[in-house]
Amino acid sequence: MALPVLSVGQMREWEQMSWKAGRSQLEVIRRVGHLVAERAHRMLRKGESVVALYGRGNNGQDVLQACRLFVEHEVHRVEAIHPRQSLAEFESILSLKPSLLLDGVFGTGLNRRLDPEFCRLFEAVNRSGIPILSVDLPSGLDGETGEPAGAALKAQVTLTLGAPKRGLLESRAWPFVGRLEVAPQIGLIDCPFSSELQWTLPSDFRWFPPARPVEGHKGTFGNLAIVAGSLGCHGAAVLAARGAQRAQTGLITVITSPEVYQPVASHLQSVMVQPWGEEPSLPARCTAVLIGPGLADPAVEPKARRWVEGLWRSSPLPVIVDASAIAWLPKGATPEGVLRVVTPHPGEAARLVGGSSEEVLSRRFDVVREISRNYGDCWVVLKGCQTLVGRSRGPIHVNCSGNPAMGQGGSGDLLAGWLSGLVAQPALAADVARTLRYAVWKHGAVADDLERHRPHWTIEDLAAWPTFAEPDAGNRPVVVPEFGA
């Protein structure tokens, strides 16, 4: 079940309600310490040492509890109460070449700007280049606004506790937060709050997609048309088709520019390929249409634009619009009850709402609502760090998977094909919100798996990586042992 994104005030209230209900703060600290140690071990090799930088608050207690659980790693503890002394201790430890720093100096209780000596300590830690695992939030970062309080540690991973804090989802916080992960089961009572922002968990997709019926055939699993590819950009059509193949769509037809028909067709076997004439012609019994990957040739635009506008306004089919075709969307209503999906990155979103990519990132939750309202209540997949999935109403889901290595040309084309290949299947289109969220999560989860096993990978590697073919890859629940077990 997805987690609500909470304010700092809600998080504190949740904790207080838990203590009043009889939950033990000591047991919560013990459990968090176990979770921190487990995450730290995944960032270390045998024999590497750790620096524990901790303060007086609960975050410091969490880090100290974690320190008790290291057996194969030497731990150097630095109490960060007197920052000038702490800086001297930290600098003396650097000669020992530690491989990880556990950050538990400040938590959500920080309500003031840091004094200059703490700023110097944090700046020295950041300059050292030691990977940082921050507990709950990076020390010095405001959990409500995402702003540093004069300075903040720059984590490689932030393991936030209970639920995500709103400030950690702000784009200005990303350089400090690094990879955001959530430890939801820390011993509190069930969360008493709801939120329009929901954090996706891998467990949201347990047993999803559902098993295929044994009597199914290619007609059961949809017929996707992909309108993609132009001179100089034929690879986008191929990658979109590869993504749709990974979704195991029943039939896939790529409709491409005549100038690139031959190279596109030569790369594909089970996918049908045809050149368009005056305008694309959809196959009979088509169940969804993807438009846009690689349609960057100005010579293609006039005829393609007219066709896209007509399809968006009137087709009863699910229509997914990506890449160049996003700029051709007409504002206004679409037929009631039909599915429309648009998949912009921040630059493309900026062209839809006006302004710059930076402005889109600064108000990205509002941008999802605005695009959806302006374009027929469509679903919006706003790509990037912590990709968003939502529309003009209802929850906006924040994706938890993915990594910076996905910032390569072709990543979005692969996602567009994968997502469309799922939506084209009638059984999955019936639960479109979950299907879109799953498509985004799986795309990132496979990239995470690939990054762990084969650094310096390419998008072609991502398209071929085996875990795309495993329905529950990365979806197995993490079991945290009970204390004393």
Task: Read off the CATH number of the domain in which 361 is found.
Answer: 3.40.1190.20
Same domain, 64 and 11: yes
Tally Cβ neighbours within 10 Å of residue 283. Answer: 16
Average pLDDT, integer, range 98-110: 95
Domain membership of residue 438 as a residue range: 223-469
Looking at the fold, whether 317 and 179 belong to one and the same domain comes out as no
Q: Residue 132 is inside which H or E element, if any?
A: strand 132-135
Higher pLDDT among residues 77 and 475, named by residue:
77
Instruction: Take residue 59 and report the two structure tokens written for it.
Output: 């975050």
Euclidean distance between CA atoms 102 and 120, whole angstroms: 18
Q: C-alpha distances in angstroms, 33 versus 119, 173, 208, 306, 355? A: 26, 24, 32, 59, 44
pTM of this structure = 0.94
Within this chain, do residues 166 and 247 fall inside the same structural domain, yes or no?
A: no
Domain annotation covers residue 479:
no
Does 481 score more than 60 pLDDT? no
Residue 470 is predicted with a pLDDT of 64
Q: Which residues of 16-45 are buried (b: 16+ CB within 10 A; e: fewer)?
A: eebeeeebeeeebbbbbbbbbbbbbbeebe
Question: Do 304 and 402 have their domain in common?
Answer: yes
Residue type, position 212, single letter: R
Classify 390 as helix, strand or coil.
strand
Mean pLDDT of all residues belonging to the chain:
94
**Average pLDDT of the residues in 452-472:** 86
Q: Is residue 410 part of a domain?
A: yes
Structural contact between residues 423 and 429, judged by C-beta atoms closer than 8 angstroms: yes
> Does 481 fall in a domain?
no
Q: Looking at the DSSP assignment, which residues form a beta bridge with residue 52?
A: 77, 102
Residue 9 belongs to a domain = yes
pLDDT category of residue 300 using cuts at 50, 70 and 90 = confident
Domain shared by 336 and 406, yes or no:
yes
User: Does 89 reside within a domain?
Assistant: yes
- Percentage of residues in the chain having pLDDT higher than 90: 91
Q: Residue 476: its pLDDT value, please? A: 38
pLDDT computed for residue 191 by the predictor: 96
> How many secondary structure helices (H) and strands (E) does the chain include?
16, 17
What type of residue sits at position 68?
A: R
CATH number reported for the structural domain that contains residue 159 in this entry: 3.40.50.10260
pLDDT at position 253 over 50: yes
Please compute the mean of the pLDDT values over residues 408-430 and round it to a whole number: 97
Distance separating alpha carbons of residues 273 and 253, to the nearest angstrom: 6
Are 410 and 278 in a shared domain?
A: yes
pLDDT of residue 480: 39
299 pLDDT more than 90: no
**Quick one: 330 and 441 in the same domain?**
yes
If asked whether residues 17 and 152 sit together in one domain, one would say yes
pLDDT of 227 above 80: yes
Q: What phi and psi values does residue 331 have, to the nearest 5 degrees?
A: -70, 160
Residue with tokens 């368009």: 276
Domain boundary among 141, 171, 192: 192
The answer to whether residues 347 and 391 belong to one domain is: yes
Q: Do 158 and 168 form a contact (C-beta atoms < 8 A)?
A: yes
pLDDT at 484 over 60: no
Do the bridges between strand 272-275 and strand 396-398 make them parallel or antiparallel, or are there none, so unpaired? unpaired
| pLDDT band of 473, cuts 50, 70, 90 | very low
Which ranges constitute the DSSP H helices of 42-138? 58-67, 83-93, 116-128
271 shares a domain with 184: no
Q: What is the pLDDT of residues 335-380, one digit of tens each?
A: 999 999 999 999 999 999 999 999 999 999 999 999 999 999 999 9
What's the total number of domains in the chain? 2
Question: Which three-class secondary structure state does DSSP give residue 259?
Answer: helix
Residue 139 pLDDT > 90:
yes
Kindly state whether residue 197 falls inside one of the protein's structural domains.
no
- Residue 477 inside a domain? The answer is no
The mean pLDDT of 392-407, rounded to a whole number, is 97
Structure confidence at residue 453 as a pLDDT band (50, 70, 90): very high
What letter represents residue 137's amino acid? L
| Residue of 176, 81, 180 whose CA lies nearest to 138 | 176
pLDDT band of residue 469 (cuts 50, 70, 90) is low
Residue 291 lies in a domain: yes
CA distance 224 to 450: 27
At 483, the pLDDT band (50, 70, 90 cuts) reads: very low
